[in-house]
Chains A and B, each alone.
Chain A
Amino acid sequence: MSAFIFTVVLGIIVLYLGFSKNKSILSPISAGGLVVSLVLSLKDWGHQSKYFHDMILIDNFSIAFNVSMIIITILIFLFALDYYETMENHVAELYALMIFGLTGTFLMTSFSNLIMLFLGIEILSIPLYILAGGKKYSYRSNEASFKYFIMGSFATAIFLFGIALVYGASATFYLPEIKTFIAQFNGHLPPMLLVGLLFIVIGVAFKIAAAPFHFWSPDVYEGAPTLVTAFMATVVKTAGFAAFYRLLGIGLLPLPVQIEKALWVMTFLTLLIGNLGALRQSNFKRLLAYSAIAHSGFLMLAVLSQHESSASVLLYYTFVYSLATIPLFIIFILAKRASDGLEEILIFRGLYKEKSWIAIFAIINLMSLAGIPPTSGFMAKYQVLFLAINKGILLTSIFAIVMAIIGVYYYFFVIREIFTERGQTTTKMEVTKLNAALIIICSIGVLATGIFMWQIPI
């Protein structure tokens, strides 16, 4: 809990630091503050504690996910130092909003009451709506913000409606009580409860961009400032899946048949649409958006396997996915600057010739996303497939494998561009020391977590 409070205070402090003209102190202070939150979170490891009339339950599950998200946010903040250097004048509120969003994700990992889940999702979403419109003079950014806001509000409304219906049926917001309430029906749920649960699942599915609730994600990813896109692709996705797992794990397992069927259809569609959609993309951010959807499909497979180590696998998968995504966004920004603001995949052309070490790290991360050994992306997919196959889900696993093969195609399309000769000479790519360090640390992390695969039992 101390980590939670500290992070909120940190957000407020950073907000007021905006009065100082020196914007380069914001990133170190935010990142440093988050290191403190990290330590505070880790101190609670092993103790289960409840707050606010048991509405919040902080256990190893929530701490592990919080730590993972704090680490990723620190990396994003370090990247922000260079990113905002050239872009914005008033950036304190952007840091503050991201920190507030992060506190929302803390709630999403530790709720045991539907109201807290709702609060968490809202605390995360509202800063994101603003952040997505961070580039005030860009049509795309405004569009992204507006679209995200409209769609997000709509999803929130459905989610809230679901909570109301469940409350109407069961007269409680507490997930453990809902669980016992569901259990007494032996699989024949009353329609009101069923519709309520379905709406709740839809609300969460919107956050994790699972098909068919994914339509916002490519546009928003494309339009939002790249740093915010990176934040959405990593931290928000991790939080969404943590919430999803917790919702199912505490509240709904064993899943009611109808809900499970709906979720399987969603998994199937997510894998299909994510991978097929990515095939035709020429914009790199859209490509990563669809790739994020495709990875959501794999993560849903892990959740739906309902294996005892599903949570650990989710943690590993989301962490290594984020670790591989951040350097790609950094490299994307570097390449974008070197090619007059283009966002196409073409901007990677000639990267190997110009900066071969960056190209090699880009390749490592792309291979991790594609799931090729010995990178951690492969180990993550291996674990997910193990969960699914161990639970006898054979055909869907084979379907996921076929989709993974398609995935390899579009990631290697980018690798191909890296090795393609570039026609005309362009501006030289400049890499600051900090960005170089970030790229190297993340890439080595991707390799190391792959070669020495770990699992934290949570």
Chain B
Amino acid sequence: MILLILLLIPFISGLAVAFFKGTQAARTFAVASAILNLVITIFVLVNPVSEGYSAEWIGFMNIQFNLATDGISLVMILLTNLLFPFVILAGWGRSQRNVPMLNSLILLTQAALNGVFMAQNAFLFYVFWELALIPVYFILLVWGGDDRKSITLRFFIYTLAGSLFLLFGIIYLYQLTPGSHTTDFSAFNQLQIPEQTQTWLFWILFVAFAIKMPVFPFHTWQPPTYKMASTQGAMILAGVMTKMGIYGALRFLFPIVPLGVQFWQPVVIILGLIGVIYASVIAFKHTNLKTMIAYSSMAHISLMAAAMFVANEYAVKGLLFQVMSHGITIAALFYLACLVKEKTGSTEFHQLGGLKNKAPIFAILFLIAVLGSIALPLTAGFVGEFLMIAGLFQQSFWYALFGGLTMILGAIYMLYAYQRVMLGGQKPVFEKVTDLNRLDYIILIPLLVLIIGLGVFPQPVFDMIKIAGSALTMAH
């Protein structure tokens, strides 16, 4: 029941907030709802519920409304509900159009994401998966930056294309289930699919997740979308929605088409490693801060994809830990990038420089986020990436070598970017730049504390994913 509440709070408050008239009232209400959800999430973590929620939905197709959690979904739910209060706060004090509708869409996204991570039924999963996309599409379309019309449409078509193939896969699996068919994951997991079928079914299912993550070469929607996204849109997209891809792959591929995974494992790992290097090189060459962060995110996600398909204990633990830390770090980074845009009016490197002189504290916090992203020891990024590379090493020396490049290359492009934004001679146009205000502290300090805190003391997350790790190894 409590899982249903977790889903309903953002859903109902999201619908309610659309009818608010006042700007500040809508924002306050939205934040309150998101914080309440976070509290309940923590309560669920502390007192794990064994039983889920189940109800009849579509009788004649034998589709149930099933919610439950396991270790993997708990990590995802925690990340989602942790980030959303900050996402909503990121809109405070800024002039935005139609604030009630914006906050309504954000909360509906949160509800859909919670649904994705709790659904125990593939059909339900798919419905939530698409539902999460729709509000985000409108957030980007209405509140996005320049050239948003064509970019959002490309983003939408791209992700939807992947999803429809996933739908094909779900229906295919559905009609394979014995008796009166069902779309329950538990029934899917018990299917014995011939190897021949698994090899093509793997790609039908994987394309949706590969686009969402994104894995090279399915990434072309991502950089322009991140670049034009509003602060909040970028935080949702990069922080949580990329994790949907990882979650989906863990949920679908390993238990249902294990032979397909085995067959394509080297290909996907190599695609992931190509992605690491490709994205890092482009990030280094790129002249725009937000696009640079987008490519850096892609580099990290590519490593996560590679680690996922290595699928030994280290790699999976590292992966799930990195889900958490990458989500927090990238959200903080995008918030900072948008602050840069707000303060200077640009995110092009050649127009930036010397911000440190006018905004020293901003520079320090930016540095911490950057260090978190390049996986410096004692930040959360290090723990995850170290474990994933250790996992890659167990599989092959070469995997680890190229995977390890993400840390080195990451350090190069991130610090280079930091240098071009914050250091150097101060541009005369930046006379009026001010340092952070109170709201920025409220958003950034908790996120940065988490980045460092989890780096120093990662055990709580590992406790949480212990169940998940064993579940995955069982699938092998």
State the A residues within 8 Å of B (CB): 352, 356, 367, 372-374, 378, 382, 385-386, 389-390, 394, 397-398, 401-402, 404-405, 408-409, 412-413, 416, 419-420, 452-455
Contacts and interface: CB of A to CB of B under 8 A. Distances in A.
| 6 nearest A-B pairs in the assembled complex, by CB-CB distance | A390-B175, A373-B127, A405-B161, A455-B60, A373-B130, A401-B164
B168 A385 contact: yes
A408 B171 contact: no
Contact of B153 (A372, A390, A409): A409
A409 B157 contact: yes
B4 interface: no
Contacts of A398: 165, 168
Contact of A420 (B149, B157, B174): B149
B160 A408 contact: yes
Interface string B110-146: 0000000000000000110011001000100110000
B5 interface: no
Given A405-B161, A409-B153, A453-B61, A389 B168 contact: yes
A451 to B, nearest CB: 9
A408 B101 CA distance: 24
Nearest to A374: B127
B167 A401 contact: yes
Contacts of A378: 130
A401 B165 contact: yes
Contacts of B161: 402, 405
Contact of B134 (A372, A394, A397, A452): A372
A382 B171 contact: yes
B164 A405 contact: yes
Given A372-B130, A416-B141, A453-B61, A405 B157 contact: yes
B303 to A, nearest CB: 30
B156 interface: yes
Contacts of B131: 373-374
Contact of A413 (B58, B142, B153, B175): B153
B223 to A, nearest CB: 21
Contacts of A389: 168, 171-172, 175
A5 B126 CA distance: 47
9 contacts: A373-B126, A374-B131, A385-B167, A385-B168, A386-B174, A389-B172, A405-B157, A452-B58, A455-B61
B167 A382 contact: yes
- Categorize the interface residue count of chain B: 20 to 34
B175 A386 contact: yes
Given A385-B168, A401-B164, A453-B61, 13 more contacts: A372-B134, A373-B127, A373-B131, A374-B131, A382-B167, A389-B171, A390-B175, A398-B165, A409-B153, A416-B141, A419-B141, A420-B149, A453-B60
B175 A416 contact: no
B138 to A, nearest CB: 8
A419 B153 contact: no
Nearest to B200: A394
A453 B58 contact: yes
A367 B133 CA distance: 12
Nearest to A417: B149
Given A390-B175, A412-B153, A416-B141, A367 B167 contact: no
User: Mostly helix, strand, loop or mixed at chain A's interface?
Assistant: helix
Contact of B156 (A373, A386, A390, A412): A412
A396 to B, nearest CB: 11
A168 B464 CA distance: 77
A181 B60 CA distance: 36
A419 B101 CA distance: 13
A141 to B, nearest CB: 34
A397 B167 CA distance: 11
A454 B134 CA distance: 24
B16 to A, nearest CB: 16
Nearest to B138: A419
Nearest to A383: B61
Contacts of B175: 386, 389-390
Given A372-B130, A373-B127, A405-B157, A416 B171 contact: no
Given A373-B130, A416-B141, A405 B160 contact: yes
Nearest to A406: B157
Interface in B64-109: 101
A382 B127 CA distance: 11
Contacts of A373: 126-127, 130-131
B134 A367 contact: yes
A367 B138 CA distance: 13
A376 B60 CA distance: 15
Contacts of B167: 382, 385, 401
A210 to B, nearest CB: 23
Interface in B202-226: none
Contact of A416 (B60, B127, B149): B149
B312 to A, nearest CB: 34
B309 to A, nearest CB: 25
Nearest to B156: A412
Contacts of B160: 372, 405, 408
A352 B105 CA distance: 15
Contacts of A454: 60
A221 B138 CA distance: 31
Contacts of B101: 356
Nearest to B175: A390
A390 B174 CA distance: 9
A407 B230 CA distance: 27
B172 A416 contact: no
Contacts of A453: 58, 60-61
B59 to A, nearest CB: 9
Nearest to B97: A353
Contacts of B156: 408, 412
Contacts of B168: 385, 389, 397-398, 401
A385 B171 CA distance: 7
A404 B164 CA distance: 8
A352 B157 CA distance: 22
Contacts of A413: 153
Contacts of B149: 416, 420
Contacts of A397: 168
Contacts of B141: 416, 419
Contacts of A372: 130, 134, 160
Contacts of B142: 352, 419
Contacts of A352: 142
A410 B167 CA distance: 21
A352 to B, nearest CB: 8
Interface string B424-461: 00000000000000000000000000000000000000
Contact of B171 (A374, A386, A405): A386
Contacts of A390: 171, 175
A374 B60 CA distance: 17
